[in-house]
Amino acid sequence: MIRPGPVTRYRVRQVSGNIAKDRRDDLATEEPLEIRVLAGGVSRTVAITMRTPGADFELAAGFLHGEGLVRPGEIQAIGYCTDDDVPPEARYNTVSVRLPHLPEVPHLERHFMTSSACGVCGSASLDALKDRCVPLVTSAVKVHPEILYGLPATLHDAQGVFARTGGLHAAGLFTPDGVLIQSREDVGRHNAVDKLVGWALLHDRLPLTGQLLLVSGRASYEIGQKALAAGLELLCAVSAPSSLAVDLAREFGMTLVGFLRNERFNVYAGPERIL
């Protein structure tokens, strides 16, 4: 089977004024990804999400970590699923994660279905989030506004697929000095964050204390939740935060920056980390 890539090529008709011409156009690929957990010979589907193919193992690992279903060091193996019930054409759209035991979480009993435009948070309340998130380990990190001003351009320059398609979100992990550590792209904002956190999880880099996260779109509750679970103290967004994202940041002691563009931004929580 042909493994789907992040870009799909189409022929389109471009119209400008009264002139029309046919040309090639590259679009961001959107395909479903089924995430399964496997333990003791039992396999269960945890989620089905629409995503851009690429970094699928990181996406699965990051999703499971953000949902509190795995901790660092618990993933024994991860790969594309070859179970008998998976047709050949779906092999590269199904990831199986082997764990020492199946997580005993109530929401594991139902299958999630999420689009590329929304995240799966598992718990919609801050009180429930307290029960499964370890306290945020704070550092002495301080960031100068001039550093923050340069982050969007740095992340934009790292978006190779976006440059070809114009249709992807991005998440970037930075040092307090503005050095890009790693970035990921996806049609879904939350998927991009999951891929980035999954990269850190699979490379034994969690928690991400003292580092900061920038997302190319808005900051929602689910993105704040994933950042919190990864131990990030500072979350920045090019666009607006949601009210629940602000509540989450204030409740858990995170710094939340929104509308970071054109050398301006708003600080919605944790202003003490901005010099």
DSSP labels for 52-101? Answer: -SSSHHHHHHHHHHHTTS--TT---EEEE---TTS-GGGGGGEEEEE-SS
pLDDT of residue 122: 39
Asked if residue 261 belongs to a known ligand binding site, the reply is: yes
Q: Which residues contact 35 (CB under 8 A, 6 or more apart)?
A: 45, 46, 47, 48, 49, 59, 60, 63, 64, 95, 97
pLDDT of residue 19: 94
Structure tokens at 143: 């960031």
The pLDDT mean for the chain works out to 88
Task: State the fold for domain 145-273.
Answer: Cytidine Deaminase; domain 2 (3.40.140)
Q: Where are the domains of the chain?
A: 31-118, 145-273
Asked if residue 234 belongs to a known ligand binding site, the reply is: no
Say how many C-beta atoms besides its own lie within 10 A of residue 12's C-beta.
11
Asked if residue 206 belongs to a known ligand binding site, the reply is: no
Asked if residue 201 belongs to a known ligand binding site, the reply is: no
Q: Are 149 and 263 in contact (CB under 8 A)?
A: yes
Average pLDDT over residues 231-245: 95
**Which of 53, 69, 51 is CA-nearest to residue 61?**
69
Q: What is the largest CA-CA distance in the chain?
A: 65
Asked if residue 262 belongs to a known ligand binding site, the reply is: yes
236 catalytically annotated: no
Q: How far apart are CA 215 and CA 257, in angstroms?
A: 10
Q: Are 236 and 217 in contact (CB under 8 A)?
A: no
pTM to 2 decimal places: 0.88
Structure tokens at 172: 């970037």
Please check the confidence at residue 204 and state whether its pLDDT lies above 90: yes
Instruction: Express each pLDDT in 79-113 by its tens digit.
Output: 998 777 888 888 899 999 999 998 875 554 444 55
CATH 3.30.1330.30 fits 31-118, yes or no: no
The single residue of 118, 121, 133, 236 carrying the catalytic annotation is: 118
